[in-house]
Chain A
Amino acid sequence: MRFGPRFHAAARMIPVHITRRFVSIRFTVTAGALVLLLPCVAALGACRSASGAGDRSPILRMGVGIGRTVKASAEKSLAELLYLEPLIGRAVDGRPVPHLAESWAWENDDRRVKVRLKSGVRLHSGKLLTAELVARSLNQQVDAAREFSPQAFDTVVGISAHGQDIIVDLSQPNALLLSELLGLRIADPDSEDNGTGPFRIATRTPQTETVRFDDYHDGVSDLGGVRIVTYESQRSAWAALLRSEVDAVQEVSREFVEFLEGSSNVRTYSFLQPFYIPLVFNIRHPVLKNVEVRRALTEALDRKTIVAKAMRGRGQIADGPIWPLHWAFASAPRRYPFDPAHAAARLDRAGFTLTGAASDRKPRTRFSFRCLFWSEDPQFERIALMIQRQLFDIGVDVELEPATLADLGRRLPPGDFDAFLMRTNASRSLDITYRFWRSSEKGNAAMQGSGYTGVDALLDTFKQSTSDEAVRAAVAALSQRFHEDAPAAFIAWTEITRAVSSDFAVPDVGAEDPLAKIWQWRPVREVTRR
């Protein structure tokens, strides 16, 4: 439950006025108790409204297995999916699709985009969503993003409203603009919880709970609302699902999926995520800066075995950081085949032969490097160990160093690593790929500091492409360059599995994430809570 700024201001003022006008301690205590009681009474009212708005539509309980470190952000992301919406959506192939926007048109030599707002959309407060409100919301978020990263929205020179249209003026054409706008979810500039999504926030304590928004512009959900229930681990979340304490689990561990798939009480939905696992090399490393070394390391990795054994087959081999289902992704470039002998020969040719003598701590190797791996997901340790062994087979010593997400966030941007292994977001529309791989003067410095600049020009070309043909050509060139430069050994695209109680029907969304259409889930029978 959140209160408006006036409420908080008034609440802050009450003790001051009381202290000034009344000396009586008893009165102060009584008034203090009233101040404490007021939020409780308000919260109670909210809970009542959250319990189903007087109808029999059930509240869907979504279990989210997350660690302490990412709890807040994961809960926030999931909640935003429920109550906020972007202007423009995104299809599974990365194409922009209308959402709050009805249509858009490029003008002024692709330096302006005019976005027509869908009419009749209302905010949860009942207020009509206007282009002026949207423009204010966008400007607010763009400013906030620029505070965090000066490179954000670098081409945007102004966002304004004109009638039912939102006008975005650019300094130069930007093929990623729509994708960047996609990341901005529209809320009332005066109240960040006041969105247009199919559910509205009922309370945020102890955990986020939403209730159905009956004036939702796309239809009304059969669900009474969604309650987000967080757990310390995925195991706790699925155990809760099996115990019927939650109705769905955001993610089921890849190991347990096959055991859930046979159940008639639970349905699983697996799909390829736009997340990939790269072994990113630091180009500043004296050995890894050699492109032949990077190619040899890539060639020495048996990614098929890694996907099959370390990832339990829940993924597919990656050949680059470009989402393979993207509309502009014609075909993968020539893949480095698993060929340890060729890799060894390549290293030999590059001058990296087995040297020195083995010690108690180290074997005789061509060279060594340290690899950070994300230690909070046991999958990455297995992948790291397999990589270590496969590279050991060609005489490369990999020293594994576990790192938490916080460690990685601290060490990656300044380039404090030789190589790192973690899950990386590619996004379906390539805007995050741009920010990840574009070197720091234009890319996002917080992403990685590998020092690789080989694709900067191509990424910029891609960004400035204004036609489908140009985008396709840029994507093909990018793929080729990633293949040639091998700034990372791209291991695999990951598959994710959601699990939903068979008490709820999930519409067929093809290769999409069923969570994107959670408001269209419906109870298949009267849900009784145990």
Chain B
Amino acid sequence: MRSITSRIVVLIATAAVAPLLVYGVVSVTSLRRGTQQSVTEANLAVARQISERIAQYFDNTRRILSSVANQLQGTQLQQWQKQHILRNHALDFPEFRELSLFASSGATVATSRAIAPRLKPPSSALDFKSSSYIAPPQIDQDELPSTTMALPLGTQAVPEGWIVAEISLEELWRAVDRIRIGQTGYALLLDEADRLIAHGHPDEKRLIAAGATETPEQGLARHLRSLNARTTSASLTTLSGVDVVAVAAAVSMPKWTVIIEQPKDEALAVAHRLEMQLTVAIGLALLATIVAGSWWGRSFIRRIFALTKVTDALAAGQMDARVTLTGRDEIAQLGTQFNAMADRLVELQDEIRKQERQVMFGRIAAGLVHDLSHPIQTIGNSCKLIQRIFDDAEYRATFRQTVERELATVKRVLDDLRNIARPMPLEHFPIDLNAALAEAVQTMAPHAETAGLELRAELSREPAYIEGDLFAMGRVHRNLILNAIQATAPGGLVAVTSEVAGDRVLVKIHDTGCGIPPDRLQAMFDDFVTTKRRGLGLGLAISRKIVEQLGGQIRVASEVGKGTTFVLDFPRSAAAPMARAAG
């Protein structure tokens, strides 16, 4: 039954749980992948927008510088007017830390500074064909990043001069600081040399101060350049050990890189929540499936268990046990048929018992007729004869003997019947089994002689004492010897032997008779079982009862056509019989 339960569990798991689990795993995986992809795409859009704005910012700055250059060039402005223009621009546009105009010789023409300009025109080694030159960012006196932009003046191959501006990147820094992706996502800015110039995470600005190199973000910027692409994305672990979804976008001018980082905890929070919900839903579904399957399986198996239980009861002889199964399915039909089969079995059993009783009565009646008819007939004949020769004193004596003997026979038959019905009262005294055997052999010798066979006694030299009833043992011996004589054809041998084996005394009555078929050996010692054509068949049954009452065992071994051996096995008694002890 356990295997049926296991099979049903496997069936439910295979049919319902496994597909549900597979569905869950596939759903969670695609959800996670899909969310990361959509987060990456959204962040990439932001990064692209920022990179475009930075490029636009520098383009606007270049335009302003160009406009200032146009105001200063080719006009008849006085020196102080040029200076005022530059200073006004520097004051009106806080991103201009300094604006200076240089002649082609490098001499300062005008500056927005109240002191000597910090700026210098670009080196002549630069490519003058460029419309502008942007220097790498630096940290200015106000501790903020700044960069320098230079515009060549004039349209000649060799510039007529330069307008150079120190541009504060403070606004850019602030703009980067203001960028928030979700709650905790932030932006970073790296220059063309992959130096960190802005970091939107308040606690990570130290990386700028520390001039950090070999950060994961710098690796990402290098990777972007190696791809020669506008954008890229990756999963990174920051120097602080936070797992982030990172995207990078290249700025067209200057060649900077914008990176957006969003902690995975937040970026994939929706996916995680959905995963959790999905997991809970799948878990509940699994639980429901298991509960329903278990309930269904239990109701299914319960009926099988009920059937099994009734079968066991029937096997144990509880013939009135019946199964009650509800439903209209095959199992219910099986239950109905099983009950019908049990009913039929009871009927058959009753019939068999009836037939057995009839057979038994027939055998008992036949046995009684056989065992009693001869003495009754003998007594009847003797009675008829005594009427005629009553005066013959010798015959009267014979008559008395005959009647007494036949009555004894009748009595013995009746005693046998009584002994079968209830235990015989036996005495337990030490007896000499050899002496009992010798007496029995002597008693049965005439029968053997009559039957034309040899009756031999081979008794042990050691004393074979047992606790027993001398009369009862004599009967057992005679019964077994008589059976052997009756089963042995003339010229055969009946050997009676005894031996002492340790604390046991064995008696064997062996004949060379026809033997007993094996299928009848088991019932040899049952009541009313005999191989003879007549008689009650109580001899062996009474013999076994006596032997077992005396603490011994009786066994039989037989081979058809070769003979039979009965073995009596008794515990040896240490005490000698009373008469011998006294004698």
A contacts, CB < 8 Å to B? 233-235, 238-240, 242-244, 253, 255-256, 258-260, 262-265, 309, 358-363, 373, 375, 378-379, 381, 384-386, 388-389, 392, 400, 402
* A361 to B174 alpha-carbon distance, docked (Å): 39
Does any Cβ of A come within 8 Å of B15's Cβ?
Answer: no
Given known contacts A238-B143, A264-B203, A402-B115, A360 and B209 CB-to-CB distance under 8 angstroms: no
A362 engages B80 (CB within 8 Å) = yes
Contacts of B205 in A (CB 8 A): 242, 259-260, 263
* A310 to B132 alpha-carbon distance, docked (Å): 29
What's the nearest-Cβ distance from chain B to residue A387, in Å? 10
B144 engages A255 (CB within 8 Å) = yes
Interface-located stretch among B26-34, B88-96, B310-318, B433-441: B88-96
A234 engages B79 (CB within 8 Å) = no
What's the nearest-Cβ distance from chain B to residue A361, in Å? 6
B206 engages A242 (CB within 8 Å) = yes
A392 engages B84 (CB within 8 Å) = yes
A sample of 26 cross-chain residue pairs with beta-carbon separation below 8 angstroms, ordered by A number, consists of: A233-B143, A240-B209, A242-B205, A243-B210, A255-B144, A255-B170, A256-B144, A262-B177, A262-B202, A263-B202, A264-B203, A309-B91, A358-B78, A358-B80, A360-B78, A363-B78, A363-B81, A363-B84, A373-B114, A375-B115, A381-B115, A384-B114, A385-B90, A385-B114, A388-B114, A389-B91
What's the nearest-Cβ distance from chain B to residue A468, in Å? 43
Does any Cβ of A come within 8 Å of B214's Cβ?
Answer: no
Given known contacts A392-B84, A402-B114, A253 and B143 CB-to-CB distance under 8 angstroms: yes
Given known contacts A255-B170, A385-B90, A385-B91, A265 and B80 CB-to-CB distance under 8 angstroms: no
Which among A244, A263, A386 has the greatest number of chain B C-beta atoms within 10 A?
Answer: A263
* A234 to B569 alpha-carbon distance, docked (Å): 119
B contacts, CB < 8 Å to A? 78-81, 84, 87-88, 90-91, 94, 112-115, 139, 141-144, 170, 173-174, 177, 202-203, 205-206, 208-210
Nearest 5 CB-CB pairings of A with B:
A262-B202, A242-B206, A239-B209, A400-B114, A242-B209
Residue of A nearest to B87 (CB): A385
Contacts of B81 in A (CB 8 A): 363
A359 engages B78 (CB within 8 Å) = yes
What's the nearest-Cβ distance from chain A to residue B203, in Å? 5
Contacts of B173 in A (CB 8 A): 259
Contacts of A265 in B (CB 8 A): 203, 206
What's the nearest-Cβ distance from chain A to residue B76, in Å? 11
* A260 to B202 alpha-carbon distance, docked (Å): 7
Contacts of B144 in A (CB 8 A): 255-256
B84 engages A242 (CB within 8 Å) = no
CB < 8 Å: which of B112, B114, B115, B143 contacts A256?
A: B143
* A381 to B90 alpha-carbon distance, docked (Å): 12
What's the nearest-Cβ distance from chain B to residue A384, in Å? 5
* A91 to B460 alpha-carbon distance, docked (Å): 135
Contacts of B209 in A (CB 8 A): 238-240, 242-243
A253 engages B115 (CB within 8 Å) = no
* A373 to B115 alpha-carbon distance, docked (Å): 10
Given known contacts A243-B209, A243-B210, A381 and B114 CB-to-CB distance under 8 angstroms: yes
B203 engages A389 (CB within 8 Å) = no
* A510 to B209 alpha-carbon distance, docked (Å): 31
Residue of B nearest to A389 (CB): B91
What's the nearest-Cβ distance from chain B to residue A242, in Å? 4
Contacts of B202 in A (CB 8 A): 259, 262-264
What's the nearest-Cβ distance from chain A to residue B581, in Å? 105
B142 engages A263 (CB within 8 Å) = no
CB < 8 Å: which of B79, B87, B177 contacts A388?
A: B87
What's the nearest-Cβ distance from chain A to residue B336, in Å? 80
A386 engages B91 (CB within 8 Å) = yes
B210 engages A242 (CB within 8 Å) = yes
Given known contacts A253-B143, A262-B202, A386-B91, A361 and B114 CB-to-CB distance under 8 angstroms: no
Contacts of B177 in A (CB 8 A): 259, 262
* A361 to B77 alpha-carbon distance, docked (Å): 11
Residue of B nearest to A371 (CB): B114
A243 engages B91 (CB within 8 Å) = no
Contacts of A235 in B (CB 8 A): 139, 141, 143
* A256 to B208 alpha-carbon distance, docked (Å): 13
What's the nearest-Cβ distance from chain B to residue A528, in Å? 16
Residue of A nearest to B94 (CB): A309
Contacts of B174 in A (CB 8 A): 258
Contacts of A309 in B (CB 8 A): 91, 94
* A260 to B88 alpha-carbon distance, docked (Å): 30
Besides A385-B87, A400-B114, 6 more A-B contacts (Cβ < 8 Å) are A233-B141, A242-B210, A262-B177, A264-B203, A359-B80, A381-B114
Residue of B nearest to A252 (CB): B143
* A475 to B173 alpha-carbon distance, docked (Å): 45
Given known contacts A242-B205, A360-B80, A388-B114, A255 and B143 CB-to-CB distance under 8 angstroms: yes
* A402 to B113 alpha-carbon distance, docked (Å): 10
* A359 to B83 alpha-carbon distance, docked (Å): 13
What's the nearest-Cβ distance from chain A to residue B184, in Å? 12
Residue of A nearest to B206 (CB): A242
Contacts of A358 in B (CB 8 A): 78, 80
* A388 to B83 alpha-carbon distance, docked (Å): 12
A389 engages B87 (CB within 8 Å) = yes
* A379 to B114 alpha-carbon distance, docked (Å): 12
* A260 to B177 alpha-carbon distance, docked (Å): 11
* A243 to B239 alpha-carbon distance, docked (Å): 14
Contacts of B115 in A (CB 8 A): 375, 381, 402
* A360 to B170 alpha-carbon distance, docked (Å): 35
Residue of B nearest to A390 (CB): B91
Given known contacts A239-B209, A242-B209, A388-B114, A253 and B90 CB-to-CB distance under 8 angstroms: no
* A262 to B203 alpha-carbon distance, docked (Å): 8
What's the nearest-Cβ distance from chain B to residue A183, in Å? 32
Contacts of B79 in A (CB 8 A): 360-361
Contacts of B94 in A (CB 8 A): 309
Residue of A nearest to B140 (CB): A378
Residue of A nearest to B81 (CB): A363
Contacts of B78 in A (CB 8 A): 358-361, 363
Residue of A nearest to B199 (CB): A259
What's the nearest-Cβ distance from chain A to residue B510, in Å? 104
Contacts of B90 in A (CB 8 A): 385
Contacts of A359 in B (CB 8 A): 78, 80
What's the nearest-Cβ distance from chain A to residue B72, in Å? 14
Residue of B nearest to A376 (CB): B141
* A362 to B84 alpha-carbon distance, docked (Å): 11
B114 engages A263 (CB within 8 Å) = no
What's the nearest-Cβ distance from chain B to residue A64, in Å? 15
Contacts of A361 in B (CB 8 A): 78-80
Which among B112, B143, B144, B209 has the greatest number of chain A C-beta atoms within 10 A?
Answer: B143
A255 engages B142 (CB within 8 Å) = yes
Residue of A nearest to B113 (CB): A381
Residue of A nearest to B200 (CB): A262
B206 engages A378 (CB within 8 Å) = no
Residue of B nearest to A234 (CB): B143
Residue of B nearest to A359 (CB): B78
* A253 to B79 alpha-carbon distance, docked (Å): 34
Given known contacts A243-B209, A360-B80, A385-B87, A253 and B114 CB-to-CB distance under 8 angstroms: no
Which among B170, B177, B202 has the greatest number of chain A C-beta atoms within 10 A?
Answer: B202
B206 engages A244 (CB within 8 Å) = yes
* A359 to B208 alpha-carbon distance, docked (Å): 48
What's the nearest-Cβ distance from chain A to residue B396, in Å? 137
What's the nearest-Cβ distance from chain A to residue B82, in Å? 10
What's the nearest-Cβ distance from chain B to residue A217, in Å? 39
Contacts of A379 in B (CB 8 A): 142
B142 engages A378 (CB within 8 Å) = yes
Contacts of B88 in A (CB 8 A): 389
Contacts of B210 in A (CB 8 A): 239, 242-243
* A233 to B140 alpha-carbon distance, docked (Å): 11
CB < 8 Å: which of A238, A263, A360, A385 contacts B203?
A: A263
Contacts of B112 in A (CB 8 A): 385
Residue of B nearest to A402 (CB): B115
